[in-house]
Amino acid sequence: MKRVFGLIGFPLSHSFSRKYFTEKFANEGIEDTVYENYPIEQVDLLPSLFTNEGALIGLNVTIPYKEVVLPFLDALAPDAAEIGAVNTIKRCADGSLMGFNSDIYGFGETLRRFVPSTFSSGALILGTGGASKAVNYVCSKMGLPVQSVSRKDGDSVISYNDLDVAVMSEFRLIINTTPLGMHPDIHQSPGLPYELLTPEHYLIDLIYNPAMTRFLTEGEHRGCMIKMGWKCLSYKPRNLGKSGTTPRVSF
């Protein structure tokens, strides 16, 4: 019996999920299994998608639906409920939909392997969308002071205009969770004062297409340690991999 997995988001022109999983299934001899992209323009189309695709048993979720999809789910894994965002949906045997957030595991593994155990600085999280929720959760669990940055300041959020020498010195881990710089708009980048970056800064971009974003290029030119988004994609959450969902981060 054919099993169908897929990805929802809009647009999906930047995504290589379908190619990635099609090749993975072929290379690992996983038969009667396909992966499709579903660029639904409105999140309220999700129920009809499951109705029309009877063989659909799992979805990855990407921009802009990681938060707004929650009302359409019947249950959430505890950590997904805590942060208020999902990136993976499983259709259970009884037809109910359960949401997970494997971004937590994937980013956690990335951070543990990238930042030295002696790192004593804080983390600037660029963006306040669904992906930022998992990043904030992981950084906080690891004991890193966190500061969110957006184009407009607000409750516990500062604007890019607030990023002065003092802030950039205090927070030397910078994670881009925004779509700025993602294909096809590859010349864009978050509005950082890049001249204040130093070799003591660590930069992570969750964007994986292109692999080398302008954000990372600016950091590399100033001697920063950098981590590309596509290297976050291969960490497999053990708890999801055994349950028939699509085990993958989907920033």
Catalytic amino acids? 66
Would you list the DSSP string of 11-43?
--TT--HHHHHHHHHHHTT--SEEEEEE--SSG
CA 65 → CA 8, 113, 209, distances in Å? Answer: 8, 28, 19
Q: Are 216 and 189 in contact, with CB atoms under 8 Å apart?
A: no
Q: In 3D, which of 11, 17, 73 has the Cα closest to residue 44?
A: 73
**CB contact at 8 A, 58 and 244:** yes
Question: How many CA atoms does the CB half-sphere of 50 hold within 13 Å?
Answer: 17
DSSP character string of 75-140: EE-HHHHHHT--SEEEE-TTS-EEEE-THHHHHHHHHHHHS-TT----EEEE--SHHHHHHHHHHH
Contact 116, 93 (CB under 8 A): no
How far, rounded to the nearest angstrom, does the alpha carbon of residue 62 sit from its chain's CA centroid? Answer: 7
For the chain, first and last CA: distance in Å? 30
Q: How many residues does the chain have?
A: 251
